[in-house]
Amino acid sequence: MTVPLQRVGCLELILDTPRGRGVFSTRKIEAGTVVDTAPVIILNKEQFDNYIRHSLLQHYTYNWPMGHGTTRKYTIHQAIALGLGSMFNHSSWRQNVGWKRDLGKEVIVYTALRDIAEGEELLISYGSHLTFEDVEAARLEEGEEDVTDVLARIDI
Ligand SMILES: C[S@@+](CC[C@H](N)C(=O)[O-])C[C@H]1O[C@@H](n2cnc3c(N)ncnc32)[C@H](O)[C@@H]1O
């Protein structure tokens, strides 16, 4: 099996952002563009529970469902995304990149959810169970407008 490694050539890593290192674009990326394809290392439960969860690497794991033969049952394992897959930061409200697991090919494919401007950070959603203090939450406390509030007002 061959796995095409689609990615754009206009990404750079900035080291000193409020979220730590982050991935930024040096030019406009159109909505729907595959920005990166990251191979993963799938960990078994023993490896994760005994080693990885006690290390820095626990902050770099994705849930990875593993099927049981031909049944519809599966167990959630953890997987580490290689390359840029481990460098995308989280945003609860401003994510501009979606990600999808390809379980058969053991890769995660990252796609622009909307047009991304030159100089903009590429942000994904980690979901709602964060293991760190979200910089966006801190900014909201400082009075920045919550865009979910704006959306609620528009609905009314
Ligand atoms: C998968 S890594 C992303 C790359 C990371 N910034 C780095 O320098 O290695 C996840 C870590 O990035 C940081 N991070 C990502 N999104 C963040 C956010 N919205 N607010 C604060 N820290 C964030 C947290 O330290 C988190 O554990």
Between the CA of 91 and the centroid of ligand 1 the distance, in Å, is 10
Kindly report the CA angle at 118 between 114 and 119, in degrees rounded to 5?
110
Query: In the prediction, which pLDDT does 72 show?
Result: 85
Q: Would 48 be classed as within a structural domain? A: yes
Ligand 1, CB cutoff 6 Å, lining residues: 19-22, 59-60, 86-87, 89-91, 132, 134-136
Query: In the prediction, which pLDDT does 148 show?
Result: 44
Q: Would 122 be classed as within a structural domain? A: yes
Q: Would 135 be classed as within a structural domain? A: no
Query: In the prediction, which pLDDT does 154 show?
Result: 36
Range of the domain at 84: 11-126
Between the CA of 29 and the centroid of ligand 1 the distance, in Å, is 22
- Predicted ipTM beyond 0.85: yes
Query: In the prediction, which pLDDT does 155 show?
Result: 32
| CATH number, domain containing residue 75 | 2.170.270.10
Q: Would 2 be classed as within a structural domain? A: no
Q: Would 81 be classed as within a structural domain? A: yes
From atom 14 of ligand 1, which residue's Cα is the shortest distance away? 19
Query: In the prediction, which pLDDT does 118 show?
Result: 98
Strands of the chain, DSSP E: 11-17, 20-25, 34-43, 61-67, 74-81, 89-90, 97-102, 107-112, 123-124
Residue ranges, the chain, pLDDT below 70: 138-156
Between the CA of 55 and the centroid of ligand 1 the distance, in Å, is 15
Q: Would 44 be classed as within a structural domain? A: yes
Kindly report the CA angle at 18 between 12 and 22, in degrees rounded to 5?
20
Query: In the prediction, which pLDDT does 146 show?
Result: 47
Q: Global pTM?
A: 0.89
Domains contained in the chain, number: 1
